[in-house]
Structure 1
């Protein structure tokens, strides 16, 4: 007989989310006993988390969480060898999964995280969420976990309508767990403090009386954010529980409280943690990914605005500086500023080679190869083993820093330390290194060309060139009309291109390295003449009969004035 299996080895949230989905599919198939969960692992050591005032992992032995009846009914402890397994996301509908389930092709159907409605087109979202709440109540937790569940419902009911912001930090940011060094492996699940502050600001701009509840594991940082706002409508679940702490002597009790409390929100901001996915399924809240709210430009502006307003822990500040580096890399920030972000992060978290790796990448992508060689030599002389272990760390997704390996491939033997890294990368025989590779949007050159592509400059150039002969004067109206029409068509085509592919949008003129020098073009005779002509043309089409005549008389006066000014400038230069 086939079974529907929740087979997760990570945290409690992922395991429960996958098992709720197994139960849902099992009831669709006609028998809840088809659902099983493989719960492997023991109590995790939370010493490091507790030292930093972090709510640690809620994972515990299965008999420390569930009743014996639940364990007997739903738990399995091993998978037999040669088991035939398929992921349920292979199917596009519950009906096609059901057909396969009873065909005896597979032994186990493995369930995913999140909402099954994201995978199967024949699921009604509202009915699915209502059924998940019903199935949640079938989970037979030990009696000690009943209180936090009922208390969370009670506390949320007292608050009324509220927006929840889930602030995930913990092992992704702090130094009691090595995953913070492993590039983007778990970074998408973490929030930097400045993102939380930006979300709060965004909501308060919509409604200054809005109740906002912050739920998270970094209790000190959450309290500092609440103190900073000094707003009675901004609270935390930790504060709501503070007079009731004797009921919460296990992390799993806090975990259950937060799930239920979150489920009662009208809106959940989240980085996508399993805890919030369960909460979404148990309630009616909108599920909003925090990292998708702002554009990179908005993020960078907000993060710079808030960084340093509150003095968070060194680990949090280091993580925030790395986020500033990433946002700055996308928005053409000056390379000297990007260097400061990484070096400052390294000062705060000196054991984190992630910052050394990206500083090296920054130098390489800016063609500062000699400086990169010296920098790498120093690293290899002081912490070679730790650095190389991090750079070539391998996990279930592959090499975690594969996205930056491409930066080393143009190095030649003149830079021996860098060349050794290149050879190591090449020996791995990885395919498609250029795919999804990390790149820094260095401030480009070319502002003069951009200014010369302005209509003002092109018209002014045509006016000067065609004013040198009688034939030029005769054909001037046709030339100017042609330039104007062609410019209009080019602008239309450009807008259509960036609508289809926003990445083709040109950077702002201010972001160019040669912007200040290029500003001189705006003061040239060509540019000024073009501006005057455009002004005359736009003001000459009004309702009055003589408006065009007066506009162009003004234009020719402006031409004489501009010529006189430029002639005087040339005379002064000669003197």
Structure 2
């Protein structure tokens, strides 16, 4: 059972019990007093029937002893609860009903009447409508935002707040160094390190509820009080509830109080005290915080995201503009961020007129301690400038009770274009990927402002010089060439894209977001699939199969692709075989290849066709390396046939 004993109360003590036919326990709950939660005021919705006995020590024994468990609302129509719902937990049998039935009567048929007086019965009801659980599993800020949201919503709606704080592999696996750049990485830590034991006993559901990263919610806040709930226990709560209808406009003002109500473990309390002392000592008149989010969006494979994670990362040039703006009015500035090398370069450039958060950190404060120190220190600022990073949001929520000052609302798009162009060539020793990111960011700003395609292509070419493995540059460039009707250039650009190591990752995003951010790209691929443009035809066939388009659409694009490879009509048997399996199994190309391979082994006709085409195919394979999916599979099939003959 998900709920803790402190979450439930036992109504069995108030019930009437009768023994029927020596071995049937009849329980009458019809006169139970009204003491349930607001959605179960008459206690008709039962959470759990729990049985225990010193004589029964396993689930199999319970199943053998209980002949039948039945529930009813009117004492006439009965529902039998299958023993598939029986769970043996902590030496007790739980029959979890999850408030799905209105129940006034229960019949428990015991096979051996000698057990009748040896079984303890509990009928458990919730004290509240359900749980509102923060259960993200990624970075610290992204985990803490839903905690604050869940605390707020539960207090307003009468639910219980809960947390799920799993251990994360990010602590070991996230990117922490690239070339000579020192990066922060991601840390989640363990719940025992962060929270007080008493707090965890009350609110942690780790091991009972699975982690879930819920998207931003935009329904009515009163929908939480409707049935059925999202989950049997209640709701997972999102990191972003700002668009909930009916939400108090100033709800964030309560978050500093919520933060202070959380009971932390001693190491965290020590960090909080340490920060308070240092801020009071060094910044009696407060300071400005600038959070420069880079990390995975600049350095890891997700940098190939088509939108450059616009509004989340902060380009170096934007940070410099904010620094200059605040230096002019004599504000103390502390820089925060996940590219430590970049921050040090900025301090060097500004000749120590600004501070870095590491200026105030002891050598012992590393990993998750460093994360907590940074967030708490940032929360003490009088203003926080950032992108849409959950790290900066958390700091602003718990310190200022509001959202941070987002750079993309502080500056207009035209202003940001001018800023990036102005600061880009300043003499800072930044990693190539930082410069590449700034140019992709600049390109996307210019695209929004309808700058000429030639200028956009020029920006992309400049960006590629700094990062030749970024897929986003080539996708954008392909779209621009199609717009300019330069189809040969577009086709050649795709050939370059297929060879990039992050193409497989990006392709999954293309399929996932084919109707939104990649819509233009996908439409261009589908619209310009022709026999003479082999790369476009290949991509069209790949997308058409993996998005399960109609047979005729798949046939069209695959025909273009195969025609481009000079495969004669006899080899169309392979194509038809391929399409038929696609229709039958309704699965993607990667999943059906093994089926094709198996069928080819036992198909003499197809075997002969492939042997006749062996020389032509091998020549095409050598000259069309980018067409890896079908060609490599055909090559493998030919090799298999050679071994058999």
Contact 2:335–2:355 (CA<8 Å) still a contact in 1?
A: yes
Return the TM-score normalized by structure 2. 0.57
Contact in 2 for aligned 1:3/1:35 (Cα 8 Å): yes
Q: Could you say which residue in structure 1 is the equivalent of 2:15?
A: none
Instruction: Give the whole-Å Cα distance in 2 for the aligned partners of 1:394 and 1:38.
Output: 32
Q: Does 1:141 align with 2:264?
A: yes
Q: Which residue of 1 aligns with 2:288?
A: 163
The answer on 1:297 being equivalent to 2:424 is no
Q: Is this contact kept in 2: 1:88–1:109, CA < 8 A?
A: no
Q: Which residue of 1 aligns with 2:156?
A: 28
Aligned in 2, Cα 1:306/1:387: closer, same or farther, shift over 3 Å?
same
Aligned: 1:263 with 2:406:
no
8 Å CA contact retained: 1:182, 1:401: no
- The structure that is strand-richer by fraction is 2
* Equivalent residue number for residue 42 of structure 1: 168
Q: Is the 8 A contact 1:17 1:278 kept in 2?
A: yes
1:236 to 345, 353, 356: 356
- Partner SS, residue 319 of structure 1: helix
The answer as to whether partners of 2:290 and 2:384 remain within 8 angstroms in 1 is yes
RMSD: 3.5
The equivalent of 2:466 in structure 1 is 348
**Aligned match of 1:53:** 182
> Cα gap change, 1:404/1:293 in structure 2, threshold over 3 Å: closer, same or farther?
farther
Distance 1:101 1:200, change over 3 A: farther
Given that 2:386 and 2:392 are in contact with CA atoms closer than 8 Å, whether structure 1 keeps it comes out as yes
8 Å Cα contact 1:43-1:60 kept in structure 2: no
Q: Which residue of 2 aligns with 1:4?
A: 132
- Is contact 2:278-2:360 (8 Å) kept? yes
Which consecutive unaligned segments of at least 5 residues does structure 1 have? 432-575
In structure 1, C-alpha distance between the alignment counterparts of 2:144 and 2:384, rounded to whole Å: 19
8 Å Cα contact 1:169-1:191 kept in structure 2: yes
1:154 corresponds in structure 2 to 277
Q: 2:235 aligns with which of 93, 100, 109?
A: 109
Q: Which secondary structure does the structure 1 equivalent of 2:311 belong to?
A: helix
- Structure 2 CA distance, aligned partners of 1:88 and 1:298? 29
The yes-or-no answer on 1:192 pairing with 2:315 is yes
> Please, which runs of 5 or more residues in structure 2 have no aligned partner?
1-125, 550-645
Q: CA deviation at 1:149?
A: 1.6
Contact kept, 8 Å, 1:191 with 1:271, in 2: the verdict is: yes
Aligned length: 412
Q: Residues 92-103 of structure 1 correspond to what in structure 2 (within 5 A)? A: 92-93=220-221, 96=222, 99-100=225-226
Cα 1:291–1:104 change in 2 (3 A) is: closer
Change (3 A) 1:39 1:194: same
Displacement of 1:196 in angstroms is 0.9
**Which range moved further: 195-204 or 394-403?**
394-403
8 A contact 1:379–1:387 mirrored in 2? yes
**Could you say which residue in structure 2 is the equivalent of 1:393?**
509
Q: Distance in 2 between matches of 1:326 and 1:86?
A: 27
TM-superposed CA distance for 1:316, in Å, is: 0.6
Which string of whole-angstrom CA distances, capped at 9 and with x for unpartnered residues, describes residues 130-172 of structure 1? 5432332333333222232222223333312322211111111
Residue deviations 1:281-339 (CA, integer Å, cap 9, x gap): 22236622212222222211111110020231111111112112222333454544433
The answer to whether the 8 A contact 1:86-1:109 is kept is no
Question: Offset at 1:236?
Answer: 1.9
- Taking the aligned partners of 1:104 and 1:393, their CA distance within structure 2 comes to 27
Structure with greater helix share of residues: 1
SS at match of 1:145: helix
- 1:287 is aligned to 404
Contact 1:172–1:186 (CA<8 Å) still a contact in 2? Answer: yes
Q: Assess, with a 3 A threshold, how the Cα gap between structure 1 residues 29 and 195 changes in structure 2: closer, same or farther.
A: same
**What is the rounded CA distance, in whole Å, between the counterparts of 2:227 and 2:363 in structure 1?**
46
1:338 is aligned, of 456, 459, 465, to: 456
Relative contact order, higher structure (CA 8 A, sep 6+)? 1
Q: Which residue of 1 aligns with 2:441?
A: 323
Counterpart in the other structure of 1:531 = none
3-state DSSP class of the match of 1:137?
helix
In the superposition, relative to structure 1, how do residues 72 and 238 fare at CA in structure 2: closer, same or farther (>3 Å)?
same
CA deviation profile, 1:79-128 (whole Å, cap 9, x unmatched): 679x9x999946534xx3574489999631222224x5653545362xx4
Distance 1:147-1:202 versus aligned 2 partners, 3 A rule: same
Deviations 1:54-90 (A, max 9, x none): 1111212333433433332212135679x9x999946
Question: 2:514 & 2:148 partners in 1: Cα distance?
Answer: 29
8 Å contact 1:357–1:391 — kept in the other structure? no
For residues 396 and 155 of structure 1, what CA distance do their matches in structure 2 show? Answer: 47
Give 2:484's aligned residue: 366
Q: Is the 8 A contact 2:175 2:296 kept in 1?
A: no
Residue of structure 2 in register with 1:225 after alignment: 346
Contact 2:218 2:243 in 1 (8 A): no
1:411-450 to 2 correspondences below 5 Å: 411-413=528-530, 414-429=532-547
Matched, 1:214 2:335: yes
User: Do the aligned partners of residues 145 and 337 (structure 1) sit closer, same or farther apart at CA in structure 2, a change above 3 Å counting?
Assistant: same
Distance 1:109 1:370, change over 3 A: same
Tell me, in whole angstroms, the C-alpha distance in 2 between the residues paired with 1:373 and 1:118.
42
Counterpart position of 1:444:
none
Displacement after TM superposition at 1:369 (Å): 0.7
1:161 partner SS:
coil
Residue of structure 2 in register with 1:552 after alignment: none
CA deviation after TM superposition for structure 1 residue 379, in Å: 4.7
Go from structure 1 to structure 2 and tell me whether the alpha carbon gap of 1:124 and 1:230 turns closer, same or farther (over 3 Å shift). same
Contact 2:514–2:522 at 8 Å: present in 1 too? no
Q: Secondary structure of 1:35's partner?
A: strand
Distance 2:214 2:415 in 1: 42
Please state how far the C-alpha of 1:47 moved relative to its aligned partner. Answer: 6.5
- Going from structure 1 to structure 2, the CA distance change for 1:99 and 1:363 (only over 3 Å counts) comes to closer
SS of the residue 1:419 aligns to? helix
For residue 143 of structure 2, what is the aligned residue in structure 1?
Answer: 15
